[in-house]
Amino acid sequence: MSTFEESIYKLIVETSTNLPADVRRTIAKAREAEDRATRAGLSLSTIAQNIEMAECNVSPICQDTGMPTFIVHTPVGANQIVMKREIRQAVARATKDGKLRTNSVDSLTGANTGDNLGPGTPVIHFEQWEKDDIDVRLILKGGGCENKNIQYSLPCELEALGKAGRDLDGIRKCILHAVYQAQGQGCSAGFIGVGIGGDRTTGYELAKQQLFRHIEDVNPIPELAKLEDYIMDKANQLGIGTMGFGGNVTLLGCKIGVMNRLPASFFVSVAYNCWAYRRQGVLLDGQSHEIKEWIYETGSNVKMNEADEAAASAQAAPAAERREIVLTAPLTEEQVRSLKVGDVVILNGEIHTGRDALHKYLMDHDAPIDLNGGVIYHCGPVMLKDDEGWHVKAAGPTTSIREEPYQGDIMKKFGIRAVIGKGGMGPKTLAALKEHGGVYLNAVGGAAQYYAECIKKVNGVDFMEFGIPEAMWHLQVEGFAAIVTMDSHGNSLHADVDRDSKEKLAQFKDPVFA
């Protein structure tokens, strides 16, 4: 292995397993701003604990390690063909070692390549510069937050905010709406990069480039610096909170860039990033390719001091916030109908992972096992196999709303009583929960190490032909904690927060920037 490839491998491992210091400091401040006894406060405690566990275990912070995207600045004359080949080799090695999840799938067949290599994967952008060193930056942006990216074409009409024109005030409205529409599905509290101008492609590229900025920097353009401060203030008044549970902290960072555009086009592009803000960079010696320095201060310099604080938070939580029920799967209808929104469920027994491919399959086929009373976990884990069998390396929840077309029908067809995921589901699923006697449990998005520790054994697996993330894993869990956010009585915390945040969004309808 070349020194360049080894340095890239180290970059991938660091990015996947250890949040940089500026992100950690920001999350620590968010915890100070949130009541530790609330659902949002308890979730932030879990997040902080997960950050420490990932660093200690040298395992992915979140199981969705996203689309690896590299920005590489090279000296004039550097061989970019060789560098690209060695970046791809480093990605494949990191995948084999369980530092990246097998995320690259054929768009037509759904087949998983198994090594994160394929047309368009990974993403590598090269630029030359007149320096002797090599600057390599990497961002791992998961699919859940990628799906909450949004692009506006001005002028437009926005719900709760009215007309957004082709001016700074219209841009302001678009950004606020982008935060509102993400709700908890992008694993809030999150970060956003905003690109003003360009065309549809370069606008999104500019937005993603903003995510490489340091959180503590100040925008050199005074108007944009003022707008960034405004967005941070107002977005955190929307009440969406961590995981969309409601709360004081919805947005952790906002960075805005601008470029020229065509007279006929005025795009505002927003790249949403979850709290697991995994970006890092290295400066390499141009000759030896050894790492000279890390671009972002490493997270090891900022400890979250989580263990004692998590216990204190749990003890301080009032009974009204956290009625705690211990259940063992399979579940009965009576048990499920006794649950209500806000309850904390501690789950033991066997659960079964199921994502997009499985839900589609089950609509027209039988299940490989008896699912009556069962629990489906919306999760695509990171798995490694050795002589002793399969081991779970990371196993946080995926965004549930993608399964909305299927979920209610599948629960009734197979007698499933509980679904675990993140971000909530829609009215079709809510109606099915009420009719059938089911419950939706919201786990903390991104807390892949926290939940992996709750999995004591892999009992088996079906549908490996779907690929590791989409396969149906049968997992024995102990002490798996999640919050009831949709119950069998027609109540949905997600619908309540959406309605409340929309009302608060409307308060910012009037012009602010002349």
What integer pLDDT is reported at residue 316 of this predicted model? 46
What integer pLDDT is reported at residue 310 of this predicted model? 46
CA distances from 148 to 100, 126, 186, 366 (A): 22, 27, 6, 33
Question: Tokens for 155?
Answer: 């002028």
**What band does 169 get if pLDDT is binned at 50, 70 and 90?**
very high
Regarding pTM above 0.85, the answer is: yes
Average pLDDT value over all residues in the chain? 95
Q: pLDDT digit string (tens) for 181-200? A: 999 899 999 999 999 999 99
For residue 70, which of 146, 15, 6 has the smallest C-alpha distance? 15
Residue 487 DSSP label: -
514: cis peptide before it, omega within 30°?
Answer: no
CATH topology of domain 323-498: fumarase (3.20.130)
What integer pLDDT is reported at residue 305 of this predicted model? 65
Per-residue pLDDT averaged across 222-233, rounded?
98
**What band does 350 get if pLDDT is binned at 50, 70 and 90?**
very high
> For residue 501, how many other CB atoms are within 10 A of its CB?
23
What integer pLDDT is reported at residue 296 of this predicted model? 97
Sequence-ordered list of residues with C-beta below 8 angstroms from that of 499, at least 6 positions apart, any chain: none
145 with 186: CB under 8 angstroms? yes
> For residue 291, how many other CB atoms are within 10 A of its CB?
18
Q: How far apart are CA 216 and CA 386, in angstroms?
A: 43
> For residue 220, how many other CB atoms are within 10 A of its CB?
7
69 with 208: CB under 8 angstroms? yes
Q: pLDDT digit string (tens) for 377-428? A: 999 999 999 999 999 999 999 999 999 999 999 999 999 999 999 999 999 9
